[in-house]
Structure 1
Amino acid sequence: MFSQELWLENERKCAMVRKAKPGRKRQELLAIAFGVKVGLRGAILWSPLKLFACSQISSLVRRAALTHNDNHFNYEKTHNFKVHTFRGPHWCEYCANFMWGLIAQGVRCSDCGLNVHKQCSKHVPNDCQPDLKRIKKVYCCDLTTLVKAHNTQRPMVVDICIREIEARGLKSEGIYRVSGFTEHIEDVKMAFDREIANADERLEAVHEVLMLLPPAHYETLRYLMIHLKKVTMNEKDNLMNAENLGIVFGPTLMRPPEDSTLTTLHDMRYQKLIVQILIENEDVLF
């Protein structure tokens, strides 16, 4: 890895290259990479070595930059603009002029909430700072958007999973070859997307929803959860824990209002999870 002095020297030389004519940049970058003074006459790079350098130079500079800015994570990100209809008067946050019209007056960045004219969106710099309130999921999310929203160098899911594997999975037979159960994988993904790790907030939200139930519904559910909790206390004999009971009772207790097979399949994991939470925390929630 580059030393501090070498880094500063190369940074100065790269600045000189950026100001040079486009045709010279490639050759001069290669010269810097191998410690040859810029503009030195007779400096001839062997062709295969030059080809190798072309594929490696950007990687070396990027690694040095990441080390130099280890605590900043200054990843550049473009805005994710989408046409938006604003309610009430609105001004462009780029040119500060009024947005005219009744519908589709401008565009809004779905990642950071920046509101600008459609024409102005072409001139906005790539300085999007995603807001966590707008990032609803971890999976199927743009990588740069995710790390900037969490102000991390990598997605937290990568760090968490690798730590777990290195702590207790390195000697597991068939690691990375033997597939896990699809249902368990989806549960883990859902936990990351929904932040189920915050148990206190989760229980508080479930309790607030229970308080909205009609008295007859609440009492019936409470009595059933007390019974199911007793079932789990005999798990050694009946092999039924809270998760298994959630799979059985979830579709019955939390049937969606519309009779749609697709909706039912999509909601099945959430149904199981809610019933599991009700059983495990019966003494707190009711």
Structure 2
Amino acid sequence: MERRNSQKGRRGNRKHVYDYITLFPDGGESMPLPTWKTYLYTLQQEAPKPHRIICQKEVAKPPFYGKEFHGTLSREETDRLLSQGDGCYLVRKSERAPDAFTLAIRFNGETKHFKLYYEDSKHYVGEKRFDTVHDLVEDGLIHFYIESHAADYISALSKESNYEESPYLAYSAKRKRLVNHRSRPASSRRLDYTDSPLASTDVPDTVAEEIENVDVNDDDDSTTDWKDIEKPHCFKVQNFMGLHWCDFCANFMWGLIAQGVKCQDCGFGAHKKCSEAVPNDCMPDMKYVKRIFGGDLTTVVKAQKSPVPVIVEKCVKEIEARGFENEGLYRIAGFHDDVEAVRMAFDKDGENADIGPNKYDDINTITSALKLYFRLLPIPLINFDVYKLLIEAIKRDDPESAQIKLIKELVSRLPLAHYQTLKYLGAHLIRVTEHKKKTLMNAENLAIVFAPTLMRPLETDPMVSLMAAKYEQKAMEFILVHFKEIFGK
């Protein structure tokens, strides 16, 4: 890596301030990658360094401050003490509020005053929390300096960056394919609720009104795989260790802590402003996905690169291999300790989890684990938006054919991963009903078991759940009875 930081670059010129990088992928052919831009890194290096002004007299000070605490001090005296140069700082008692403290920092020949707080062993003047006042001041000086020298440059970062040429896409051929996917016409993809032409941008005032507005004449049921699922990034503020560059604009992420945000599912790191320009093309990686049980369904599907979660597929295959002879299949619970063992096995080993008969001879352990997976989904399989419409639809006194068309359309509004998994699970439950002479589990019995597992109201009021229970069961039974019409062509 060659650094070329000219004097023009140090003065803020945007030219000649880059690190040029060329990688040689496994194919042996060189591939130029986006340029890492070091201008902001250079500015951080040039920022004034913190210099603590030590109090020369004995003063009573709080235990969480050191020799930088000067007790009661006027602003004039503070200015005099800090006149040694930029980066000088001290802490004094506030003149305006008792038991309050002020951090004074010298920057650009002026003294800046901030209310200083201490809580949970952390010092702060804003949202960021620091272990020491020194770190707080150092981070502040970096921000002062960069913002004073590159305000226009920073404001243009996300606007002038080209996502298709970003490091995030350049480092991954898989992600490059998603660019082509997004450029395909919408008609070549099975649409989810958010981009479906059936989802009106004019939100009706009531659920009943939205039901009335549903277009039941769209019979499109084309299928796709996990690569076609659009997923937003799960960004959270991140303390990046060491030097870090933005995966969107390729600029340095300045500061000591909370320099930007990081996607918890794929590791994409960016400035907070840049993250707002990133499309919903997160490609989760299992090294970031901490758990299967209790994890978001779409995230798990994309991380495992599977049409449905591996746990669902493995459990269904195991149940169908040795469960159709068992009376009360899905109704009888397995032993709690064994179910927990299955859960931990999937969270730890994923698709390599052993749930065979030599490990768990009781098939009820597997059926209980599968139900537990669905119960722990943070967003239920039949998500909250579709749930409200589905309950309203099942209450209607429509002819059966009209109700089938309506529920078919509502189910198609599920996010793609939810739709595919519901279809896969429903087909399995239909096969269970085909063995009802031995399992004693018909569509009604399975609906009683699975309705509270696959759907729930957003409201947590027990009375709301109780009132909705019979309609949930009725909706689930209707889906099973009319499965081929709802999920077929």
Structure 2-normalised TM-score? Answer: 0.29
The structure with the largest strand share of the pair is: 2
Structure 1-normalised TM-score? Answer: 0.47
The structure with the largest helix share of the pair is: 1
Of structures 1 and 2, the one scoring higher in RCO (CA 8 A, sep 6+) is: 2
